[in-house]
A = this chain, B = another copy of it.
Amino acid sequence: MKNQKRTTIYDIAKKLNLNASSVSRALSNNNNVSAATRELVLKTAAELNYKQNSLASNLRRGHNKTIGVIVPHINQNFFADVIAGLEEVTYQQGYNLIICQSNESYTREVESVNTLINQHVSCIIISVSADFEDDSHLRNILAQGIQLIQFDRVADNLETFKVVNDNERASMEAVSHLITQGYQRIALLEGPQNLNIFKQRKDGYIAALKKHNFEVLPELMIENAWTKELGAIATRKLLNMPMPPDAIFASTSDFSALGVLEVAHKMGVMVPEKLGICGYSNEAFTEITTPSITTIDQHSVDMGKTIANLFFQEMGSEKEVRPKIVNIQPKLIVRSSTLKNKLGRSVR
């Protein structure tokens, strides 16, 4: 368990009466070494249980086969899935992932960026925190010659590679679906508006209402209702209004939608007959609630893969590449919680 010395290429060289450079060449198989020495070196390396020191190798070569990832929370399904997708691809390419969570704190986000810069990672992949203040730390990444990909929650004013969901369109589709189902007064649960994704979802909601000539009613749009608890509180308030909504679009998350559902149950409001509910994210549980919840799938694992592929395929070249924005189309998953017409439709 002690800090004993590890075997280096010098140890191998000494044992074989070779020079360290020959050993190095033999180990990095692309160079010119005689087959005999290569074999000898490999054999001895195995015997001495040699492991390369990546620190030295990376320092010498000036780059690190490592990618840094910063997310608000590692253990939220969406982010965990994206990371799993990322890991899948980066692993294939022999890259490692260093993971940081900002805990929705701007300070921690900045600190994490600095650590990753210090580590000389090849690329930083980030989804910004909820109390995002300004993008100077992100600009700094670029200034240090490190690649940058933003995903999901991105800084609008900074031109970098981005992989995002088409939040506005998905929202529009969800609200249009509600309207088609015959809901008349559709409320919106909003997330923090300093995050662009939540702004876009709100925009989609408004666009859908306008498209169908529905009035946009400020009293039906509840700010900052992005957890289960806040969703529940908002719902109680909404359902106690003189003219309550007959549908609620929890644009922030399925957790928020779950809060809506629980309050509806407690208040004896029938779902979907008297209240339609639509969530966002396609969390596993939306399939098994009673009724199951209509929601929007973000293809999170694929998103991770897309991000990684972007790096390996489009950002590797030395020439200046114009930042590209990849827009992933989320998918509306219609379930029971919004199927007001289901009885009518199933009868001939």
Segment of A36-44, A127-135, A137-145, A241-249 in the binding face: A137-145
Say whether B100 contacts A98, CB under 8 Å.
no
Say whether B99 contacts A97, CB under 8 Å.
yes
> Of B6, B55, B73, B283, which one neighbours A64 at CB under 8 angstroms?
B55
Indicate if A168 sits at the interface (CB-CB under 8 A).
Answer: no
6 A-B pairs within 8 Å (CB atoms) are namely: A49-B143, A55-B55, A55-B120, A75-B83, A87-B101, A288-B288
Indicate if A289 sits at the interface (CB-CB under 8 A).
Answer: yes
Tell me the nearest residue of chain B to A115, going by C-beta: B96
> Of B4, B55, B80, which one neighbours A59 at CB under 8 angstroms?
B55
**What 1/0 flags go to A26-41 for Cβ under 8 Å of B?**
0000000000000000
Most buried by B among A6, A99, A145, A147: A99
Indicate if A347 sits at the interface (CB-CB under 8 A).
Answer: no
Contacts of A318 in B (CB 8 A): 2-3
Q: A145-B4, A285-B288 are in contact. Are A75 and B64 (CB under 8 A)?
A: no
CB distance from A290 to the nearest CB of B (A): 5
Tell me the nearest residue of chain B to A83, going by C-beta: B74
Q: A59-B56, A77-B75 are in contact. Are A144 and B288 (CB under 8 A)?
A: no
> Of B1, B83, B288, which one neighbours A145 at CB under 8 angstroms?
B1
Contacts of A66 in B (CB 8 A): 98
Say whether A100 contacts B74, CB under 8 Å.
no
**What 1/0 flags go to A198-216 for Cβ under 8 Å of B?**
0000000000000000000
Contacts of A103 in B (CB 8 A): 88
Say whether A118 contacts B51, CB under 8 Å.
yes
Indicate if A343 sits at the interface (CB-CB under 8 A).
Answer: no
CB distance from A223 to the nearest CB of B (A): 25
Contacts of A147 in B (CB 8 A): 1
Interface majority SS (helix, strand, loop, mixed), chain A:
mixed
CA distance A101 to B143 in the complex (A): 32
Say whether A99 contacts B75, CB under 8 Å.
no
CA distance A303 to B295 in the complex (A): 32
Tell me the nearest residue of chain B to A118, going by C-beta: B54
Say whether A87 contacts B100, CB under 8 Å.
yes
Indicate if A190 sits at the interface (CB-CB under 8 A).
Answer: no
Say whether B2 contacts A75, CB under 8 Å.
no
Contacts of A174 in B (CB 8 A): none
What 9 A-B pairs come out closest when comparing CB atoms?
Answer: A285-B285, A75-B80, A75-B84, A54-B118, A55-B59, A80-B80, A290-B290, A74-B84, A51-B117
Contacts of A49 in B (CB 8 A): 140, 143-144
Say whether B87 contacts A74, CB under 8 Å.
yes
CB distance from A139 to the nearest CB of B (A): 11
